[in-house]
Amino acid sequence: MKIVMMGTGPFAVPTFQALIASEHQVACLFTQPVRSVHRRKSSIPTPMRDVANEHGIEIHDPESVNTEESKQLLAALQPDLLVVCDYGQILKDYILATATYGGINLHGSILPRYRGAAPVNWAILNGDEETGITVIHMTPRLDGGPCLKVVRTPIGPTETTVELEPRLADLGVPAVLESIEMLQNHGPEGTPGVVQDQSLATKAPRLAKSDADIDWGDSAELIYNKFRAFQPWPGCFTHLQQHDKPPLRIILKEIRLLREPPPEGIAPGSVSVVAEDRLYFAAKEGQIIVDWLQPAGKKPMKVGDFVHGHHPQVGDRLLSESALSPQE
């Protein structure tokens, strides 16, 4: 098949590499434009650009793929199939119609669960013990086409998004190749795959920085799941309120879950244990053991260095952003 690859992030890289190495012809790559880094003028290429440049594959990066210009470009290429993964844009029906077989999309969940931009994050956040990948035959409905291939895998009890996403990306490679073969066997007018049960659909919206604010009214397990889910971005943070000091914003860099309740008299959202190299935060139904953290304006540090430098005390309060008064 003559294939146009559409992808931007690292989740798409293994599939892109496999297609290049396969019997199929990769005509070009559509990817997101290069964005500036923060407010600096410098910018970084995407991982997909690196692969395309390495293999001499033409790159197109329209601000919107759904323009007349993109439509004409794709029509001129006459692709058999669009392969979409971690692209960052939703394709309109007239873009899908430029390819003989339409498009397929590799998605990081067992659809129809977790439709949207952040399926891996939400699966971990919700404490799921299993996830997987789905290859769908694309329709204009977001992640709503029939499922061509589903592969399942367990989620480890301490596994983070950083660890799980590459595993899922690798699981998707044979699934994409098998899905292409399935489409070829059925022909352009065929309708292979299993129709999704729309009543089971759930959403996985894009994350925001505000999602990383820890609510100490949550259980220790939910806080730990949030930490695992929000790596590497947006991370998780809280504010330490010490006596006669302004609240100190701290980012949690490495933590563990302790299911034992805090000592008697220590309320959730308080420092529960302080030792030379130990710092525990009390939550509902357990505690959070802090190993590495990053105070505002400082580099990440071991908890022992933080204890020596900031002298937290048992009973010091932990505050969410929303709990801070306007004066603070």
| Rounded mean pLDDT, 128-135 | 98
Instruction: Choose one of 200, 234, 255: the last residue of a domain.
Output: 200
| Rounded mean pLDDT, 268-290 | 97
Question: Distance between alpha carbon 126 and the CA centroid of its chain, in Å?
Answer: 14
Band of pLDDT at residue 38, cut at 50, 70 and 90:
low
The verdict on 180 and 102 lying in the same domain is: yes
Domain containing 282 — which CATH number?
Answer: 3.10.25.10
Task: In whole angstroms, give the CA distance from residue 11 to residue 172.
Answer: 9
Domain membership of residue 40 as a residue range: 2-200
The verdict on 76 and 191 lying in the same domain is: yes
DSSP conformation class of 66: T
Instruction: Choose one of 153, 175, 200: the last residue of a domain.
Output: 200
Domain containing 65 — which CATH number?
Answer: 3.40.50.170
The verdict on 36 and 162 lying in the same domain is: yes
The verdict on 32 and 105 lying in the same domain is: yes
Q: pLDDT value at position 327?
A: 44
pLDDT at 294 over 70: yes
**pLDDT tens track for 112-124:** 999 999 999 999 9
CA distances 6 to 27, 29, 86, Å, are: 11, 6, 8
Instruction: Choose one of 181, 200, 219: the last residue of a domain.
Output: 200
Task: In whole angstroms, give the CA distance from residue 291 to residue 304.
Answer: 8
The secondary structure of 94-160 as a DSSP string is HHHTTSTT-EEEEESSSTTSSBSS-HHHHHHHTT-SEEEEEEEE--SSTT-SPEEEEEEEEPPTT--
pLDDT at 322 over 90: no
Name the average pLDDT for the chain.
94
Integer-rounded Cα radius of gyration of the chain = 23
- Give the total number of structural domains in the chain: 2
- Residue 132, domain member (yes or no): yes
The verdict on 164 and 64 lying in the same domain is: yes
- Residue 258, domain member (yes or no): yes
Cα within 13 Å of Cα(288), Cβ side? 34
Band of pLDDT at residue 27, cut at 50, 70 and 90:
very high
pTM: 0.94
The verdict on 221 and 175 lying in the same domain is: no
Q: Are strands 25-30 and 59-60 parallel, antiparallel or unpaired?
A: parallel
The verdict on 165 and 272 lying in the same domain is: no
> Are the C-beta atoms of 26 and 12 separated by less than 8 Å?
no
| Rounded mean pLDDT, 289-305 | 97
Percent above pLDDT 70 for the chain: 95
Percent above pLDDT 90 for the chain: 90
The verdict on 181 and 239 lying in the same domain is: no
